[in-house]
Structures are given as structure tokens and as C-alpha cells.
Amino acid sequence: MANQLELIDFPCPSAISSVPQMKLLGGGVDWLLPLRTWLNGLTFKRPAIAHRVCQLIPTQCPFARDIRVLGKRVLRIPPLCKLNPLYEEVVGLRFRALCYLADECGEDVSAYV
């Protein structure tokens, strides 16, 4: 536990701060771009951390629900994960963890799929 930063290979902080702000379609600024870049730059060095990421990030959104009364659907709650502005990056992180476990560690990842 001496140095937790050695568990994951982090991108260089100066590279993150030098990323230009991406303009959105409406003319606004994507303030989450540095965080997106940081998440996309994470790589795994230890299988235990990759296992933990696969356990913490679900394979599909657990919030999508159909509310039924007397067998008829009266309300549909959409998957709320899609409202997360970092959804694609989090799913990509889970995918990279799965690939690390399968390709580099040679482990069976069928329990996480």
C-alpha cells in the first residue's frame, strides 16, 4: 500500500492540461474533456485492479425498468446510464480491463461478460 499510483499507469499530467478544450455543437466548451482524456489514457499493470474495475462497472445499465400494473406496461424508465456524460469512457475502461485480463494475463473473463 506504499504507492497506490503504481497500480495503474496514469497518463502524464502535463499532457492532460495541454489538451485543448473541445467546442460543442451548441458553441459551448466541453469542460469534461480533460477528465475524458485522463480516463481514456488509463492502462492496467496489475490483474487485481483490472478485476476490481470489472466488478465495479456493470455490463449493462441496472436502472432500466418497466413498471407494470395488471400485466400492462404503464411506465418505462429508460437506462439512466446514458445520461452520464462519461458513460463511453467508463465502458471503455471496463473493456480495457477485460482485454488486459484476457490477452495479457490469459485469464477467463466469462464471469464478467
Inside any domain, residue 2: no
Does residue 20 lie within any of the structural domains? yes
Summarised one tens digit per residue, pLDDT across range 86-101 is 999 999 999 999 999 9
Instruction: List, for residues 61-93, the tens digit of each pLDDT value.
Output: 878 888 999 999 999 888 888 788 999 999 999
What is the number of structural domains in the chain? 1
DSSP H helices in the chain = 13-17, 33-41, 47-56, 87-99
Tell whether 85 is covered by a domain. yes
User: Is 31 inside any structural domain?
Assistant: yes
- Across the chain, how many H-helices and E-strands are there? 4, 4
Domain span holding position 99: 10-106
> For the CA atoms of the chain, what is the radius of gyration?
18
**Is 3 contained in some domain?**
no
Q: Phi-psi bin for 9: left (phi > 0), alpha (psi -120 to 50), beta?
A: beta
CB atoms under 10 Å from CB of 69, counted, come to 8
For residue 5, being part of any structural domain is answered with: no
